[in-house]
């Protein structure tokens, strides 16, 4: 008895689906790991300047102003992050994702340069602020 063509076609389809599933799993796993590593790397890179930013904030703001400055800074970061995400999405839809990533890298590079300039130039301002704060404290004690 001859095998039915539909049975052999069904078997071929099943084998093809299994081979495809294995290939997708084999190729997709490294991609998933790469994406996960990139995700973690982005958040580590974005979190790296936080100690510098906190130091700059503590030097620039007096103890009375510090909580307000930190709150405004946090609010500004959330607003700008949301606006940036929306703008990047619209820009990627109209241009390309590579262009958006290049723009993000450029903005972060400018931010790094500004932070480096603030770090070196803010020491004198921080010392002057501390001296002024100490002077005001002495004036208030004598009143």
The whole-number pLDDT of residue 44 equals 82
Domain assignment of residue 40, yes or no: no
Q: Band the pLDDT of 122: cuts 50, 70, 90.
A: low
Domain assignment of residue 10, yes or no: no
* Residue 106 structural domain: 46-143
Q: Is the pTM value of this prediction over 0.85?
A: no
Question: Do 129 and 62 form a contact (C-beta atoms < 8 A)?
Answer: yes
Domain assignment of residue 29, yes or no: no
Domain assignment of residue 7, yes or no: no
Domain assignment of residue 12, yes or no: no
Mean pLDDT of 40-54: 80
Domain assignment of residue 103, yes or no: yes
Domain assignment of residue 20, yes or no: no
- In angstroms, the CA 98 to CA 104 distance is 10
Q: How many domains does the chain have?
A: 1
pLDDT digits (tens, 9 = 90+) for 59-106: 888 888 888 988 998 899 899 889 989 999 999 999 988 888 888 888
């Amino acid at each position: 008895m001859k095998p039915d063509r539909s049975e052999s076609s069904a078997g071929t389809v099943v084998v093809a689906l299994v081979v495809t599933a294995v290939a997708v799993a084999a190729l997709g796993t490294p991609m998933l790991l790469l994406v996960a590593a990139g995700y973690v790397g982005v958040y580590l890179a974005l979190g790296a300047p936080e100690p510098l930013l906190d130091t700059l904030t503590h030097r620039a703001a007096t103890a009375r102003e510090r909580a307000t400055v930190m709150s405004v800074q946090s609010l500004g970061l959330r607003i700008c992050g949301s606006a940036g995400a929306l703008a990047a999405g619209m820009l990627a839809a109209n241009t390309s994702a590579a262009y958006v990533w290049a723009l993000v890298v450029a903005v972060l590079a400018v931010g790094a340069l500004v932070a480096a300039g603030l770090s070196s130039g803010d020491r004198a301002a921080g010392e002057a602020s501390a001296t002024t704060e100490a002077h005001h404290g002495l004036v208030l004690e004598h009143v």
